[in-house]
Amino acid sequence: MPSSEREKTVFVIDDDEIIRLSCEQILHKSGYRVETFGNGYEGIERLKAVKPPLLVVDIKMPELDGFEVIKIVRKIDPELVIVVITGYATIETAVDAMKMGAYDFLPKPFTPSELRLIIDRGFERWRLANETRLLRKQKEEVERKFVTLVSHQLKAPLGAVKQYLDVLLYTCRDQFSSEAIEWISRSQSRISEMISMIQDWLMLAKLDRGVLCESASLCDLGKIIEETLQEYQQIPSANEITLTGEIAPDLVPVRGDKAGLGLLVDNLVSNAVKYNRPGGKVTVRAGREGRSIVLEVSDTGLGIPQDFRPHLFEEFYRVKTPETQKIPGTGLGLVICKRIVDELGGSIEVDSKEGEYSVFTVKLPAAESEEEVDKN
């Protein structure tokens, strides 16, 4: 069926032949294309193929009643506009039908103009919803293109500059004065900061599009923690931080995206290492608490002054104290953590004592079933 035909099609499901015929006549005159059905099953079968914008359905029918029909067609087409006809016009049945997703109701008996009015309004609603959907899709497409463009246009040149500096310092170090080496090193770290900022920003854009939810599987959080800690242990740290993992033996899997969970753990551990004291400790615990998985990352570091805590999860916010001044960061790490946790249906909290410790506690819903954990 051409879409111009489909877009003016009304389905009428009613066991009363008089109603079917009169609806058909009235709506046909108004320029609609009408298909009528004497019972729910026939209507639903045909609806799958045609996908009309609007359905008029009687509540009281033998076999499948109007409520059952609404329940089924909502799943087939969430955009379908449904108008219910109710014979025994009580407000309760109408409200029940609306709760299940009907758009409006028409109490029997009704006049031709009442029917036309409701159907016209229903079509207008469908048209508007359709337009909104289309606009939203276009907007998302523009955003996606913008993100790709920015990533390439900004990251590539910065990367090239840093690559020159990296190679320069690696191959010609002995030809430079100590001051020149310092300047090059400073340039490298400033560029690295900018690259990380673009990366974090891209990650946020990705999270906004719900990309991380698409690849949800059962993940072994303990394994993710161990891998992250191993990575940090391999990097020689100037501050001699000791990293420890304490993973409860009864830990159950978490449903989520492995890359997202990895990023969450990595960001929290990275902060705990950065905002620590020389010789400090970082402890990552994972365990079960009722139906939740609790991930706790604690440090023996600088702590977060009370005034700063409410803003920690805001974009580009950074704790500014004399001690944190020289610590590099993008101000997006915790924002990313919060978005990931939100997406997984969990929560994140912070407890801290200035000059002593900070503890970030993440609670995630434990996976219920015993499916095979994604080992990849």
Pick the binder of another protein from 91, 129, 149, 160 (CB under 8 A). 160
The verdict on 171 binding another protein (CB under 8 A) reads yes
Which is it for the CA torsion 12, 17, 23, 24, positive or negative? positive
Pick the binder of another protein from 15, 35, 166, 323 (CB under 8 A). 166
Cβ-proximal residues to 23 (8 Å cutoff; 6+ apart), any chain: 10, 12, 14, 34, 36, 56, 115
Pick the binder of another protein from 159, 305, 328, 355 (CB under 8 A). 159
**Phi and psi dihedrals of 153, rounded to 5?**
-65, -30
Helix, coil or strand: residue 227: helix
Give the residue among 36, 105, 35 at the shortest CA–CA distance from 70: 105
The residue among 154 and 248 lying less far from another protein, judged by its C-beta, is 154
**Buried b / exposed e across 47-77, counting CB within 10 Å, b at 16+?**
beeeebbbbbbbbbbeebebbebbebbeeeb
Here's the x/- map for another protein, 181-200, by CB under 8 A: it reads as ------------------x-
Q: Which stretch binds another protein (CB under 8 A): 87-95, 148-156, 275-283, 324-332?
A: 148-156
Long-range contacts of 15-24 (CB under 8 A, 24+ apart): 15/39, 15/58, 15/61, 15/62, 16/58, 19/58, 19/85, 19/108, 22/112, 23/56, 23/115
Is the CB of residue 165 less than 8 Å from the CB of residue 182?
no
Here's the x/- map for another protein, 236-275, by CB under 8 A: it reads as ----------------------xx----------------
Here's the x/- map for another protein, 269-298, by CB under 8 A: it reads as ------------------------------
Q: Which stretch binds another protein (CB under 8 A): 62-70, 144-152, 276-284, 294-302?
A: 144-152
Q: Which stretch binds another protein (CB under 8 A): 18-26, 81-89, 166-174, 298-306?
A: 166-174
**DSSP codes, 240-280:** --EEEEEE-TTPPPEEE-HHHHHHHHHHHHHHHHHT--TT-
Pick the binder of another protein from 88, 146, 164, 183 (CB under 8 A). 164
Pick the binder of another protein from 99, 152, 291, 311 (CB under 8 A). 152
The residue among 171 and 178 lying less far from another protein, judged by its C-beta, is 171
Give the residue among 77, 76, 59 at the shortest CA–CA distance from 68: 59
Nearest distance, CB of residue 163 and another protein, angstroms: 4
User: How big is the site for another protein, counted in residues (CB under 8 A)?
Assistant: 18
**Phi and psi dihedrals of 38, rounded to 5?**
-85, -15
**DSSP codes, 158-184:** HHHHHHHHHHHHHHHGGGS-HHHHHHH
The residue among 159 and 279 lying less far from another protein, judged by its C-beta, is 159
Nearest distance, CB of residue 166 and another protein, angstroms: 5
The verdict on 353 binding another protein (CB under 8 A) reads no
The verdict on 217 binding another protein (CB under 8 A) reads no
Pick the binder of another protein from 23, 123, 162, 301 (CB under 8 A). 162
Helix, coil or strand: residue 350: strand
Nearest distance, CB of residue 258 and another protein, angstroms: 7
The residue among 74 and 223 lying less far from another protein, judged by its C-beta, is 223
Distance separating alpha carbons of residues 150 and 296, to the nearest angstrom:
35
**Phi and psi dihedrals of 287, rounded to 5?**
-160, 180
The verdict on 95 binding another protein (CB under 8 A) reads no
Nearest distance, CB of residue 172 and another protein, angstroms: 9
Distance separating alpha carbons of residues 193 and 186, to the nearest angstrom:
11
The residue among 151 and 324 lying less far from another protein, judged by its C-beta, is 151
Which spans of this chain sit near another protein (rule: CB under 8 A)?
148, 151-152, 155-156, 159-164, 166-167, 170-171, 199, 258-259
